[in-house]
Amino acid sequence: MNNPVYQFLKTFEGKELSDLPSPITAWLKGKLISIEEGKTVVEYRVRKEMTNPVGTMQGGIFTAMMDDALGVAVYSLGKDRFFTSVNFTVDFLESAFEGDSVRITAGVVREGKTIVNVKIEAMNQTGKLLAVASSNLVAKQLDPMKFPDYKGLNVNV
């Protein structure tokens, strides 16, 4: 199957995702550890500006990391539609602290005609499970679907 979006994302494996179209992705500075169609592993470093007054990573930042990784997983499918979250449920199990490495694994569980279901796990550098999440995303048809113009991405849909 010819999937230019996946092929483009694959070129980022082992690299920081700062050159992708999303400004939040650039700010989070995640490193793409691995990618398969529908599954990604992205690693983030918790920076001081990501923490709350007690020194733990703020929940919204945690959720943004998980959302960021799931976005890469969903877009790696190479569909000609835009996907947006219908819901996003997070269970925070442990805290992450400044300097910690947080590894997010996001994988498509089910891909329907209009809804994609994704499961997400977050672990720290010792392998401790920090959070689990799930999200359903709905396909939105844009007329015409326009992928951003980025060096290395050649998609005509």
For 10-66, how does the pLDDT look when each residue is reduced to its tens digit (9 = 90+)? 999 999 998 777 889 999 999 999 999 999 999 999 999 999 999 999 999 999 999
Helix (H) or strand (E) holding 64: helix 59-75
pLDDT of the residue at 143: 57
The CA distance from 145 to 80, in Å, is: 7
CA distance readout (Å), 110 to 77, 102, 103, 134, 139:
12, 25, 22, 12, 13
Helix (H, G, I), strand (E, B) or coil at 16: strand
Q: Find, among 70, 85, 92, the residue nearest to 115 by Cα.
A: 85
Cβ neighbours of residue 126 under 8 Å, at least 6 residues apart? Answer: none
Residue 148 C-beta-side C-alpha neighbours within 13 Å: 9
152 pLDDT higher than 90: no
More confident residue, 140 or 41: 41
Q: What is the mean pLDDT of residues 69-86?
A: 91
**Inter-CA distances, 68 with 21, 25, 35, 144, Å:** 12, 6, 13, 24
Nearest alpha carbon to residue 73 among 100, 101, 50, 106: 106
Domains and CATH numbers, the chain: 4-140 (3.10.129.10)
pTM score, whole prediction? 0.88
The predicted pLDDT at position 153 comes to 60
**Of residues 5 and 154, which shows the higher confidence score?**
5
Residue of 157 and 134 predicted with greater confidence: 134
pLDDT in the model for residue 80: 78
pLDDT at 140: 85
Segment 81-124, tens digit of pLDDT:
889 999 999 999 999 999 999 999 999 999 998 999 999 999 99
